[in-house]
Structure formats: C-alpha cells, structure tokens
C-alpha cells in the first residue's frame, strides 16, 4: 500500500508539472511609443509571424485590429483562433482572443470549435507580438518599410475603408492612401479612349477592371472570408491595351489618385494611373 501511495503521488506531481508547462502568468502589457502610428507595426508583425492570417475588421482611427487564422499547436493538435490587437487608453498594447478552433483529424482537415487552448501558450504568442510591435515602432527604417507595404496592400486598405462613413473615407484617402502603388488583378470590362489629364500627364486610355477580394485557403480555419470587390479605372498610355477584349484578365500596377465608395455593399472604386 505504501508503494502504491508513493506511485500515485509521483503521478500526481508529474501531472502538475505537465499542466504547469501550459499555464503561464498573464503577459505584462507593453507601452507603445507615443505619437507613433500603430498600423505599420501591426501590419509588420503579422506579416512576419502569421503571414496566413487575415484581417476581419480594422477600426483604423481607434487603433483596433481583429484577425482570423492565428495558428499554432497544442502539443501536436493544430489550433486556429481570432485575435484582437488594440491600443488601450493608457497607451499599452492590449491583445485578446476569441473563437478557438482545433483540428482533431488531420486527414480530413476539419476544424471543431473549442472553449480552451489546452496546451497552447496564448500568453507567449501575445508577448511575442507585443515585443515585435514595439521593436518595429522603435526602428524608423523598418517602420517606414511596413508603412509603405501596408498602404500598398489592397486587401489591408480595403478592410480599413469598408466601414467608413463618407467623411472618414475621404480623410483616409487624402492623408494615408493617396499616392500608394497598388497591384490589381482581374477581368476587364471595357477599354476606352481618354484625354484626361492627371498630375500634368494626359492619358490616352482608361481600362476598367474588377478584382474580387476572396480568400480560398484550405490550410487554416477562417471564421469569415472577404467576398467583396474593388472596381478600378486604370489610366494609361500603353497602346497595347487597345487589343484587349472582355475575356481578358489583366494585372496592372497603378498609383492611387482618387477613390470613392460604392452605393451597394462595401464595394470600392479606385482611380489609378500607370506606375510602370
């Protein structure tokens, strides 16, 4: 009986040690540098650490970002969850989670919702994100690089603008997005002659095309997917566009000179000039 008791106690202690390995103290919140834009650091950290995650919602002027498809492993079990990163009123980086999913059968790749992380260490993930965000914010060259990259990412910019009121939309275009170079890819609907002069350059043609912002990724669970459209008027002097027909899919690289909101849904209209 004594040996059995010792054995049971040993098992109990081992269990505590194992459980202790997946339970950590709450992350101490890090202060974000005062007066520094937050969006380049957010864009940079998720580009580096979770490149397959997608932005669900961005409350740009209130510094609040919600992403889906944050992934990791609880021992050997793949997990995916939503994460919200925001700047608190005290100037600290606040990171929370919601909607946890786990993949119990890797052969079928089906996800099931769960109430807890199990052995996954969320606090470490949050700490890593906070640490890297402040590092980016305190490095002017890296901050500038991610600022340009963020404003050139049409899906990121679309997510920012899709819920704006008219005044906020125009303010964002004027102060942040105008002058960004976007890569747009989609089917064309028309090619017309144009004599429009923009920034002292007269363009002979305008090509209209549409990009569908839809995510198709079977590797991770996404609780919501983009399914909206960006309509583009692309002004160019490339003579070869006159040979395009309505079955063509075109990739263009253009500088943003103007934008407007669609009257239906969250559609977006861009005016681009050839950046080639």
- pLDDT (average), residues 108-123: 91
What pLDDT does residue 107 have? Answer: 81
- How many other C-beta atoms are found inside a 10 Å radius of the C-beta of residue 250? 16
The tens digit of pLDDT for each residue in 238-262 reads: 999 999 998 899 999 999 999 998 7
What pLDDT does residue 150 have? Answer: 97
What are the backbone angles phi and psi of residue 67, rounded to the nearest 5°? -125, 155
Domains in the chain (CATH in brackets) are 27-151 (3.30.310), 166-274 (2.40.50)
The tens digit of pLDDT for each residue in 13-66 reads: 444 444 444 444 456 689 999 999 999 999 999 999 999 999 999 999 999 999
Average pLDDT, the chain: 86
Task: Provide the 8-state DSSP code for 48.
Answer: H
Q: Single out the residue of 270, 267, 199 nearest to residue 232, CA to CA.
A: 270
The Cα–Cα gap between 36 and 178 comes to 20
Helix axes 122-137, 140-151, angle to 10 degrees: 100
């Amino acid at each position: 009986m004594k040996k059995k008791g010792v054995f049971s106690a040993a098992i109990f202690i081992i269990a505590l040690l194992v459980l202790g390995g997946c339970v950590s103290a709450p992350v101490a919140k890090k202060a974000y540098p005062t007066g520094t834009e937050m969006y380049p650091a957010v864009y940079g950290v998720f580009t580096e650490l979770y490149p397959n995650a997608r932005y669900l919602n961005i409350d740009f002027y209130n510094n609040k970002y919600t992403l889906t498809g944050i992934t990791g492993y609880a021992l050997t079990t793949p997990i995916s969850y939503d994460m919200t990163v925001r700047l608190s009123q005290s100037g600290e980086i606040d990171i929370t989670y919601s909607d946890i999913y786990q993949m119990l059968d890797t052969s079928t790749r089906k996800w099931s919702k769960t109430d807890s992380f199990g052995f996954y260490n969320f606090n470490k993930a949050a700490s890593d994100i906070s640490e890297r965000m402040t590092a980016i914010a305190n490095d002017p060259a890296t901050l500038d690089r991610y600022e340009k990259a963020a404003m050139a990412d049409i899906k990121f910019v679309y997510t920012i603008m899709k819920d704006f009121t008219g005044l906020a939309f125009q303010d964002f275009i004027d102060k942040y997005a105008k002058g960004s170079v976007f890569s747009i890819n989609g089917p064309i609907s028309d090619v017309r002659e144009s004599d429009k002069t923009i920034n002292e350059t007269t363009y002979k043609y305008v090509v209209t095309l549409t990009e569908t912002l839809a995510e198709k990724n079977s590797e991770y669970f996404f609780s919501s997917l983009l399914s909206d459209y960006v309509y583009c008027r692309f002004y160019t002097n490339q003579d070869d566009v006159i040979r395009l027909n309505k079955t063509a899919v075109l990739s263009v690289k253009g500088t943003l000179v103007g934008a407007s909101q669609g009257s239906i849904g969250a559609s977006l209209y861009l005016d681009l000039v050839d950046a080639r």
